[in-house]
Structure 1
Amino acid sequence: AIYERNAINSGFPIITFDLIEKGIENGEVITINFETGKIIREKTGEEIEAVPFSDVQMDIYQKGGLLR
């Protein structure tokens, strides 16, 4: 979607997964590894699979975006 591409180009990290299906609650502390797509719930240690960054997305993110 265009909003996702704009966020990536601006250097904002975007990761895709189903929040409701995975049971993550608003305000819950999580850790995200953008390279692997793994989300770790700090409260339980549970690992959740998400869509990892592509090599291009990671490169853009690490450089702070395309709009710098």
Structure 2
Amino acid sequence: MKPETLELLVTRTMPFGKYQGRCIADLPGDYLAWFARKGFPTGELGGLLALMHEIDHNGLGDLLKPLRQKHG
């Protein structure tokens, strides 16, 4: 995984659905778990959602703190 991929989690927003416009890193764990059960979208968005699910599920959210501070 490239460091830039983690930066995308704090800069990209959800393009559709209940949480449209919310930063991917701020999506609720239950929402990410729903995607994990039902299937992630294809492409870059699906990869980012899957990565965020793994980070959230494993309690690694603190990894994103420096990136959140960097990107305000």
Q: Using structure 1 for the length normalisation, give the TM-score.
A: 0.33
More helix by share: 2
More strand by share: 1
Greater relative contact order (Cα 8 A, min sep 6): structure 1 or 2? 1
Bigger Rg, structure 1 or 2: 1
Q: Using structure 2 for the length normalisation, give the TM-score.
A: 0.32
